[in-house]
Structure formats: structure tokens, C-alpha cells
Amino acid sequence: QKEVEQNSGPLSVPEGAIASLNCTYSDRGSQSFFWYRQYSGKSPELIMSIYSNGDKEDGRFTAQLNKASQYVSLLIRDSQPSDSATYLCAVNGGGNNRLAFGKGNQVVVIP
């Protein structure tokens, strides 16, 4: 059974600072890694996908993947109040395209 672990939150960061979120996974055969953002009362929204070791940047978001250490992280630069949400780490590696989700990290950006 795939397991995805996210360190417990919530994470409070001042506006303009960097928010750093970490995620570890147990299935070494996992191939695809995703970060979803979920606002309270809304459904998850895909914000980052990463498949190769290293960094991937998209605007203020940077995802980092290290398959040897089995972790994936998300950095949010210049955090804004609108970034306040729960961030879900998801991992895919098996058949039927199922994703294994972490429990999520709540981020609170303080103006």
C-alpha cells in the first residue's frame, strides 16, 4: 500500500516569506508527483506536477523531487494571503492511475 506522509501543520508564514512544505512517500516505484491546493470548502486544484529528480519552477511555486530519498517538496515564494489553503501531496506509480494523497498541510499567510 502506498503511503504519503506530510508533516503536520498548520504552517504560519508572514506575507512575503517563503513557505516550505515536505512530503515523503513509501513506494519506491512511484513515477509521478503532484501538489494540489485546496481552499476551504472547495475541491483540490492541481498546481504542480513533477516527474524527474531536481527542481521545477512555475511562477512563485517550486517543486523539488528526490527519488533516492523518496521526498518531494513545495516552496511558495513571496507568500500572499491568497496562498492560505491546504496543500495536498499526491503520488502515482501504479496501475489504474490511482493517486495516493497525503493528509495535507494547512498554510496560513499572515498579512
Residues within the interface to another protein (CB under 8 A): 31-32, 34, 36, 41-46, 49, 51, 88, 90, 92, 96-99, 101-104
CB atoms within 10 A of CB 100: 18
Q: With respect to another protein, which residue has the nearer C-beta, 72 or 104?
A: 104
Which amino acid would we find at residue 87? Y
Cα 12–55–105 angle (5° rounding)?
A: 25
Nearest Cα to Cα of residue 19 among 37, 34, 42: 37
Q: With respect to another protein, which residue has the nearer C-beta, 1 or 69?
A: 1
Q: With respect to another protein, which residue has the nearer C-beta, 69 or 96?
A: 96
Q: Could you tell me the smallest distance in angstroms from the CB atom of residue 35 to another protein?
A: 11
